[in-house]
Structure 1
Amino acid sequence: MELLSLWIGRHIVVLWASLLILALLGGDLGWRLARRRRLAATGRAGYLALRPRGAAILTAVFGALFALLLWAVWAQTALVRFDAALAQALHGRLPPAFMQALAIVTHLGRPALLAVAGAVVALWLALRRNWRLFVPWCVALGGTAACGEAAKHFVKRTRPFDGHAFVVDTGYSFPSGHVSMSMVFFGMLAYLLLRHLPPRHHRDAVAAAVALVVVVGISRLVLQAHYLSDVLAGYALGACWLVIGVALAELLRRGAQPR
């Protein structure tokens, strides 16, 4: 466990770049498969992006993963010891200039900022009377925020090293609100863009959303604002509510289509 944490600490930049590339390739592959199977949410063509059965399976998988991580942290299992070893291996390893750049990037996932941006998008949808997108948007973002806060106060986990010089965060550490809110906000925003933009821009929207979510998540770990399990739990929680939001939007759209 200690050797693995030290190896990750030494190669964190390479691992970060590799994860970003793999995530972009995975997102592009998913987009291609969806397009080939006529599952992409194109708005004009009316293709279904997510079937109810698939949505139920994905929600159960991500929900179970989040529950497992929550239990592992709350019960102080070996995962907690690995988190601490990895945090120690990362501490003070990267140059200050690089950490300062990450500190700027990580604010893209700031929950308060995303809450304001989410309220603006919700207002825009309400003014357009697009309730079939307004309701899923509010459900996804509100559900993520509520569940994240509930989990934080249940686990009551302190942050690594009780704070960091490059980022100043208050509150509990598990799960990462930056990560979960980024997953839902950028994911749902990409879905809205897929519904409104011409198909030639869909690939770019998916790639941008994937890149932002990955960058924010890894920055929270490298800046040591969170432990690894905090970030993973944020991804699991965000993915769960993202699936719920997209599935609800597709269900409402499908019900509105003429038979």
Structure 2
Amino acid sequence: MPTPEELALLLARHASLALAAIALTLACTGAGLSLILSRHGDALLRALLGGWSWLAPRWRLPPTQVALLLALGFAFALATSAAFLSLADEISEHEELTRFDIALAEALRTHAEPAWQRFFATLTHLGDVEVLVGVGVLVGIVLLAKRRYLDLACWTAATLGNGLLIRLLKHFFQRERPAFEHGLVSVSSWSFPSGHASGSLVVYGMLSYLLLRALPAGARAPLLGAACMLVMAIGFSRIYLHVHFASDVLAGYASGLTWMTMCIIVCEATRARSLRPA
């Protein structure tokens, strides 16, 4: 088994290929899910759950199915929060993950290609606070105009709440960033967890969640696939530009998923209680 340093050097030398492989995997998975859902999605969900508000908003879910959805959501939130705590413990104890972080940052400083750096320096701005706040305000105005008050409350809680959570976590851990000198981006906050990773996941993930009910079944998987690829590319850009350690980005994803999942659970539970039979 390769050491953390050997694995970091391998990834740094083939970073663009690794990103392309991940993107291709996500695209193929999204295409496969799209085909399955377009043909059998409604029937599968009716058989498993009796209909979910995402696909059949006119149906009222039986209490047992609401409880099942809540349990699955809470289990996922617990898993992502456990992943975050595990990452936090690893960096505080300076174990193998920390060695990998440092080795990957050093390897990327040596092997990163200038053309890719310029590309990711542009793409990373899609996760900037100013951009995410702009998206947040625009979506909030649209939801308010359409009187979708429950969605507006969920959107506001998810986006604003995640921003506050990241600030608190950064202040608590106070991890220094990797050293970088390329001058392509500027940063001033602590490193752990990554605000770009967490913020982009929550904002673009919640936007996808809000769009799901308005789209036909065949378009839902491509939407989720595209959102996943965008969020993954933003997180990858932070590592490639070596302004974040890899564990910072993973922790940002974990914390963002936990918070977003809890917000969606509350929103869907509230929506399910208000539904009436057709």
Does TM-score exceed 0.5, indicating one fold?
Answer: yes
Which residue of the other structure, out of 160, 163, 170, is the alignment partner of 2:178? 160
Q: 2:17 & 2:60 partners in 1: Cα distance?
A: 38
The corresponding residue for 1:114 is 132
Q: 2:105 & 2:23 partners in 1: Cα distance?
A: 21
Deviations 1:68-103 (A, max 9, x none): 112222333332122111100111313212211111
Q: 2:136 & 2:60 partners in 1: Cα distance?
A: 25
Q: Are positions 1:143 and 2:161 aligned together?
A: yes
Aligned-partner residue type, residue 255 of structure 1: R
Gaps of 5+ in 2: 46-51
Q: 2:171 & 2:266 partners in 1: Cα distance?
A: 28
The corresponding residue for 1:7 is 10
The corresponding residue for 1:41 is 54
C-alpha displacement of 1:30: 5.5
Deviation larger for 90-99 or 195-204: 195-204
Q: 1:47 & 1:74 partners in 2: Cα distance?
A: 47
Deviation larger for 74-83 or 58-67: 74-83
* Native 8 Å contact 2:208 2:224 kept in 1: yes
* Native 8 Å contact 1:163 1:225 kept in 2: no
Aligned-partner residue type, residue 130 of structure 1: R
C-alpha displacement of 1:161: 0.6
* Native 8 Å contact 1:106 1:219 kept in 2: yes
* Native 8 Å contact 1:163 1:169 kept in 2: no
Distance change (3 Å), C-alpha of 1:240 and 1:72: same
Deviations 1:8-62 (A, max 9, x none): 1111111111112223344455664692532582365669899111101000000
Q: 1:199 & 1:103 partners in 2: Cα distance?
A: 35
The corresponding residue for 1:185 is 203
The corresponding residue for 1:252 is 270
Q: 2:209 & 2:201 partners in 1: Cα distance?
A: 12
* Native 8 Å contact 1:66 1:236 kept in 2: yes
Q: Are positions 1:194 and 2:212 aligned together?
A: yes
Paired residues for 1:66-81 under 5 Å: 66-81=84-99
Deviations 1:133-185 (A, max 9, x none): 11111121122212211111111111111564221111111111111011111
Larger radius of gyration: 2
Distance change (3 Å), C-alpha of 1:46 and 1:232: farther
Deviation larger for 115-124 or 99-108: 115-124
Deviations 1:170-212 (A, max 9, x none): 1111111111011111111111111223434323322221111
**Which TM-score applies when normalising by structure 2?**
0.84
Q: 2:54 & 2:223 partners in 1: Cα distance?
A: 12
Q: 2:59 & 2:31 partners in 1: Cα distance?
A: 21
The corresponding residue for 2:115 is 97
Question: Tell me, what secondary structure is at the counterpart of 1:220?
Answer: helix
Which residue of the other structure, out of 21, 34, 42, is the alignment partner of 1:18? 21
Q: Are positions 1:171 and 2:189 aligned together?
A: yes
Distance change (3 Å), C-alpha of 1:125 and 1:77: same
* Native 8 Å contact 2:180 2:242 kept in 1: no
Aligned-partner residue type, residue 228 of structure 2: V
Distance change (3 Å), C-alpha of 1:148 and 1:164: farther
Which residue of the other structure, out of 142, 158, 165, is the alignment partner of 1:124? 142
Using the aligned pairs only, state the percent identity: 33
Q: 2:224 & 2:107 partners in 1: Cα distance?
A: 33
The corresponding residue for 1:212 is 230
Q: 2:267 & 2:166 partners in 1: Cα distance?
A: 22
